[in-house]
Chain A
Amino acid sequence: MKKPSVELKLPIIPNMELIATQTAEVIARHMNLNDEQSGEISMALIEACINAFEHSKSDSNVFIHFLIEEDSLIVKVIDQGIGFDKTKVEIPKIENKIGKEERKRGWGLQLIQELMDSVEFESNSDGTIVTMKKNINK
């Protein structure tokens, strides 16, 4: 039997990431995830959406695919932006930001990786696919 999935198409409009989190909450309830797991998925999704919005042109869309597996939820955030080189993204540390000229932002990838069980990035000049997986603790 085909595994259930949910797909969203989000325009690049401020706060559209909240539509994705509302969908994630419904799916999390369907999968009987606990509040902690649901919150982690929503927070990671917000960060992935914000990154996708920032990399994309204003007239394009960001696509979110939720793939409901028996023992996990897989969330793909797909943009058609300019792409990025993950090896050039430094791991942020607050000690390097407080009292320094360094910009205070740049936490998205770190949060996504901390909050999800696995994360994969595929990126080139045609866009980026972030694949995030949350294992279900039963």
Chain B
Amino acid sequence: MSGFIKSTKEENQIVIIETDGYLNNEGGEAISTICYEKMNEGKNKFLINMAGTKVVNSIGVSILIEIIEKLQEVDGKIGYYNLAPIVSKTFNIMGLTKYSTVFATEEEAVSGL
């Protein structure tokens, strides 16, 4: 597991990935590697707990767009929670919130995805 991925777990058939640190190209690829592995195992619902990620760049976030695209092929979904305000604003500007969901808490995310 890369240093950026703090933990992964599954709850209610949802893969929950907890990140820690800068979401750049390497961080994005660390998330996508797990998502694609789990998609190969038949999983199609993912949540990213971004409590430990206060800084992102557009290259890292673009990799989330690639994941959204691949999830559309398997009728899947992805959501995020515990976002810093600037991360949430960045997701809005880039349009991620049109194709995926930002939740406030893990409880809300697990029940709402």
Contact = CB atoms under 8 A, between A and B. Distances in A.
Interface in B38-81: 55-59, 61-63, 65-66, 68-69, 72
Contacts of B62: 104-105, 107
A18 B59 CA distance: 15
B84 A39 contact: yes
B57 A17 contact: yes
Interface residues on B, range: 20 to 34
Interface in A78-106: 92-95, 97-99, 104-105
Contacts of A42: 55, 86
A116 B66 CA distance: 27
B57 A46 contact: yes
Nearest to A98: B69
B9 interface: no
Q: Is the interface of B mostly helix, strand, loop or mixed?
A: helix
A98 B55 contact: no
Of A36, A47, A98, most B-chain CB atoms within 10 Å:
A98
A21 B55 CA distance: 10
A40 B87 CA distance: 10
Interface in A1-54: 14-15, 17-18, 21, 35-36, 39-40, 42-43, 46-47, 50
Given A94-B96, A99-B72, A114-B93, A43 B61 contact: no
A98 B68 contact: yes
Contact of B86 (A17, A43, A92, A105): A43
